[in-house]
Every structure is written in C-alpha cells, then in structure tokens.
Amino acid sequence: MSRRKRLVEAAGAIVLRRPKGRRVQVLLVHRPSYNDWSLPKGKLDPDEYLAAAAVRETWEETAFAIRLRHPTNRIQYPIPTGTKRVAYWLGTVIGQRRFKPNSEVDRRVWLSVPSALKRMTYADERELLEHAVTLPETTPLLIVRHGKAMERKNWSGKDQLRQLSSRGRRQSKQLVPLLDAYGVAELDSSASTRCMTTLVPYAKAKRLDVQGWATLSEEKAKDNPDAVRKLMKRLIKQTAATGVPRAICGHRPVLPLMLEALGVPDRPMLTAAVLVAHLSPDGETVSVEWHKPRA
C-alpha cells in the first residue's frame, strides 16, 4: 500500500533594498546541499503562522531581521513525501547580526534584479521576483478578532468586563510573532476587556500602549454604527499617511463595519483570526490576506 502524500507548508521572503544611487537589489542565499541559489525560505514550526515563519526563516538563513510588506504569489512543487507550498512576502531589512556560514546556507548575496534573475536556480522563483518588483508601496493594517472569551452564561459581571478564557490567553500570546512580522507599532481596540487583553502580550513585548475605544464595543456600535465607520476611516487614513503599521482588535458583531471601512466584504472570522489589509498611501486597500488562529 502506498503512503499518503502530504502537503508541507513553508514561507519565505523576497527581501529588497535600494542602496543610495544604485538600482534595487534582492537578497539570495546559496544552499550547499542543493548547490542552488534561491530566495530564503523554510518550513513552519508547529502552530506557527506563515508570516511569522517567513520572518524567522529569513533571520535564520541570512542573519537579517526583516519586516513584511506586500504578499506575493505562492508556489508549489513536488517533494518525495508529497507537495511543498511556499508563501512569500516582500521584506524590508530592519536589523542584522554577523552571518556565519553553515551546512544549510553557506553564502548570501545582494544582487541587482537582472543579475539575480541570471543567478537564481528556479524558474518559479524568478517569476516571483519579476512580479514582486512591480508591487506598490503599502502599509499593513491588521484587523484582529479578540481571543476566545469566557462564556456569557458563566460571567456574572458587566459584559464589557468579560475576560479571555485560558484558550483565549494562549491565542493572544500566539499573536505576538504575527503582529511582529508586520512591524505593528500602533495598537487600537474596543475598550472591552476581552479585546484589550488580546493585544496586551504584544503591547508588553514591544512596550506599546493599547488605545481603547468605547466606539468599537458591541454595545456602542449597536447604537451608533456610523461612529464606528467614522473612527475606522480616521484610523485608516492615519495609518496610510504615516506608514506606521497598525492593529485594531474588535468583536464579531462589529467586524462587518470595520471591514466595510476597508472595502472588504464581510466574512466569518474565528476568535483570534486576523485580516491584514495592505493600504496605498491614499488609504485604499490594495490587497488582503487572512490568517486563522493557531490555537
């Protein structure tokens, strides 16, 4: 009996830079075991978000710390155990450490795009690079549904004070590397406890404050949906104008209004699910990506 083939998920980055007075360059790595030149990439760790894996693998293979920008196409190809599917994002360097050649990656190089296209081993990665350099400059804005909360029937206090369950607390911790992958530096939330608490682990890790908005609570939004639309438009405009990535945490009944402001059709979101909207400088949504909770 033949063994069942499986799908292996992986993630990588097309890391670009533009040295002063020079053309755009892309980061490539050489893998001695394959004797190939390729984009940095690798398989997911257990319960890891794809976007977080792209950042981690780039760091491990190249010693460059990056932040993700616009998503690119995915590629897939056969491997002995089944199929590997790799998701890629544009990446920007924000830091680095000393690179130490090893058995997995022994060289890294910055090349102009024409030179990289000649050097790269795989045709599908060359197509990715050709597409990536045409993508517009964008800023990510993340919409987060709060983590799993305690059941209403088990909570005797005010609903606005209802707390996260143990599962919700695990979800909030697992959101940290995802928000960090996009360089989130502004945090907004419904003023309700279960929303604010969802962003607290990331806020503590990055020494940020969470701005709570009563307007985004279930109770206020039900009575005044126009206020939600107005606030969202203001936050979207501010994010696009400053270029500072932002995350906004909300409730299931309020999410349709929040997505509407981004021009995104309503769609069910599980607890701790995340929508990433990539905004143009004028605040238009260029593309979106969805991330399911890992717990």
CATH number of the domain to which 27 belongs: 3.90.79.10
Say what percent of the chain tops pLDDT 70.
99
Question: What pLDDT, in 10s, does the model give residues 122-132?
Answer: 999 999 999 99
C-alpha to C-alpha distance for 274 and 156, rounded to whole angstroms: 29
- 178, with CB counted inside 10 A (0-12, 13-18, 19+), is buried
The stretch 142-162 carries a mean pLDDT of 88
Which of 113, 132, 151 terminates a domain? The answer is 132
Domain around 73:
6-132
Query: Are 226 and 269 in the same domain?
Result: yes
Same domain, 73 and 11: yes
First-residue to last-residue Cα distance in the chain: 34
Which domain-ending residue is among 107, 132, 157? 132
Same-domain pairing of 127 and 146: no
Q: Are residues 70 and 158 in the same domain?
A: no
Pair of tokens at residue 4: 């069942």
Q: How many folded domains does the chain comprise?
A: 2
Q: Which pLDDT tens digit goes with each residue over 213-267?
A: 999 999 999 999 999 999 999 999 999 999 999 999 999 999 999 999 999 999 9
- Please tell me whether residues 126 and 149 are part of one structural domain: no
For residues 99 and 22, state if they share a domain: yes
CATH number at residue 271: 3.40.50.1240
Same domain, 115 and 181: no
The answer to whether residue 146 is domain-embedded is yes
Pick from 77, 110, 132: which residue ends a domain? 132
Q: What is the DSSP string of 7-61?
A: EEEEEEEEEEE--TTS--EEEEEEETTTTEEE--EEEPPTT--HHHHHHHHHHHH
Q: Flag whether 89 is in a domain.
A: yes
Same domain? For 145 and 272 the reply is: yes
- Indicate whether 35 pLDDT > 90: yes
The verdict on 43 and 150 lying in the same domain is no
Same domain, 188 and 242: yes
Same domain, 197 and 276: yes
Helix (H, G, I), strand (E, B) or coil at 182: coil
> Does residue 1 lie within any of the structural domains?
no
∠ CA 245-148-174, rounded to 5°:
50
**Is pLDDT of 2 > 60?**
no
